[in-house]
Amino acid sequence: MGINNSGKTGKKHILWMLLFVALNIAVITWTAYREFHVKSRPASFSLGEYGVFYLLAALGCQGVIFLTETLKLLFTARFLSKKMTFRAAFETVALGKYYDSITPTGGGGQPLQMYWLHLNGYSAREAAVIPAVSFITRQLSAVVLALIVFAFWPRIVPDTIRFTAYAGLFFCAIPPCTEIAFSLHPKAIKTLLAWILKLAAKLRLVKDYDGTLKKVINTLTQYQDGFILIAQKKSLSAGLVALSVLCRFALCSIPFFVLRALGCPASYLRLLCMTVYIYAAITLIPTPGNSGVSEGAFYLVFSEIGSEGIFWAMLLWRLICYYSLLLIGLPYLGRQVEVFRDKKTETETDTESGRDV
């Protein structure tokens, strides 16, 4: 029975990946057709004035993202009186972003980071708190920045993207808001979640009610310690929020530098706000790394500014923001597999020794 189930799971995974690749190809093909055939824009790739400088700045933004996320892990570990090297923190960030990029909901990174830290000698609590604190502050900074942009620049993008962004922000705000409410009133939130999941089970949206409820409560409990740590340590929370805001600005600045590299004259503030809408909108569609959806949203939003290099800008943006995460995380994925095998071998050896005794 286990073999049959694993076979079915493998087939579903392959089918999902094929659909995912097909969606990417379809969106890129459609964008190229619109640019080079319908709008008759030149297909050649050419950088504008100071184009190389702007591309380096875009790459620098990705470096800032990794640096801020790494420092957040280091600071949190220090408050827990746990030593962590810069290399170990960077490795944890790289693995988390790699798994975020290949999971449909973009949420596979935190559980993997917890598991990875536990394999490397951290207690279950420490392994849960360190990534949880980073995730909570990152989500909160994204939500707050989006709310500010939505309030002051409500008409900067087409209505289709705008209303999709509103819905996306709502779902993006659910995890941190639920965690805050759970930390303050755990019994009330447990009752509410049980009611919601019962309704979902009746609608056949959830197959295993008991298992799903247990999984959700366990996840919230793991993140609860992280939220409590943030609430109690004001100096830590201030530093983590500052790093999270810097990280978010760096992420949302990459389209500006990419478009400027290709000669687009638009202002930084305008492109930054448009990018905030894009990131809020694409969270509504749970494809791995938001692929397919990201490219389409980028084109729909930035084609309005009249840049002739929009197609190449889209590809460069995804190369820097998405595919680079896969390339950076892949070597550390191999090391994770090696560590897992070593731990498994040690466990099997200890078990055999125990039996001999």
- Residue range 16-59, pLDDT digits in tens: 566 666 766 777 776 666 666 556 565 556 677 788 999 999 99
In angstroms, the CA 72 to CA 77 distance is 9
141 Cβ neighbours under 8 A, 6+ residues apart: 241, 244, 245, 247, 248
Q: In the predicted model, is pLDDT for residue 286 greater than 80? A: no
For residue 45, give the H/E element and its range.
none
pLDDT digits (tens, 9 = 90+) for 312-337: 888 899 889 988 888 888 877 666 65
Residue 353 has pLDDT above 60, yes or no: no
Give percent of the chain above pLDDT 70.
77
Helical (H) or strand (E) element with 35: none
The residue type found at 107 is G
Q: At residue 61, does pLDDT exceed 70?
A: yes
Specify if 26 maps to a domain.
no
Is the model more confident about 274 or about 222?
274
Candidate ranges 32-41, 173-182, 185-194, 272-281; pick with highest mean pLDDT: 272-281
- Count H helices and E strands in the chain, helices first: 13, 0
Does the CA dihedral 290-62-59-17 come out positive or negative?
negative
DSSP state of 207: S
* Cβ–Cβ under 8 Å, residues 113 and 95: yes
Tokens of 49: 């004035």
State the Cα–Cα distance between residues 153 and 23, nearest whole angstrom. 31
H/E stretch holding 112 reads: helix 109-119
CA distances (Å), origin 76, targets 62, 100, 107, 180:
22, 21, 20, 18
**In contact, 252 and 300? CB cutoff 8 Å:** no
Longest CA–CA span in the chain (Å) reads: 79
- Write down the pLDDT at residue 172: 84
Residues 142, 279 contacting (CB under 8 angstroms): yes
pLDDT digits (tens, 9 = 90+) for 124-179: 778 888 888 888 889 889 999 999 999 999 989 989 899 999 999 998 888 778 87
Please report the pLDDT score of residue 114 as a whole number. Answer: 84
In a domain, 28, yes or no: no
Query: What would the mean pLDDT of 192-197 be, rounded to a whole number?
Result: 85
Mean residue pLDDT across the chain: 80
- Rg, Å, the chain Cα set: 22
Nearest to 141 by CA among 72, 213, 242: 242
Quick check: is 16 in a domain? no
Q: Determine, yes or no, domain membership for 220.
A: yes
Query: Structural domain of residue 171, as residue ranges?
Result: 55-345
Helices (H), 153-233: 159-184, 186-202, 209-232
**Side chain identity at residue 95, one-letter code:** L
- pTM, entire model: 0.80
Residue of 82, 114, 72, 121 whose CA lies nearest to 96: 114
Q: Is 351 a member of any domain?
A: no
Least confident of 132-136, 180-184, 349-353: 349-353
Is 4 domain-assigned? no
**Distant-in-sequence, close-in-space partners of 213: CB < 8 Å, separation ≥ 6:** 193, 194, 197
Nearest alpha-carbon partner for 280 in 293, 263, 265? 293
**209: confidence class by pLDDT, cuts 50, 70, 90:** confident
Q: Is residue 272 part of a domain?
A: yes
User: What distances in angstroms separate CA 54 from CA 50, 138, 250, 260, 261, one per listed residue?
Assistant: 6, 26, 13, 7, 5
Task: Count the domains in the chain.
Answer: 1
CB 250 within 8 A of CB 68: yes
Question: Contact at 8 Å (CB) between 260 and 54?
Answer: yes
pLDDT digits (tens, 9 = 90+) for 82-128: 788 898 899 999 988 988 887 765 566 777 888 888 887 888 778 88
Q: How confident is the model at residue 296 (pLDDT cuts 50, 70, 90)?
A: confident
Amino acid found at 118: H
- Domain assignment present for residue 2? The answer is no
CA gap 228, 167 in Å, rounded: 28
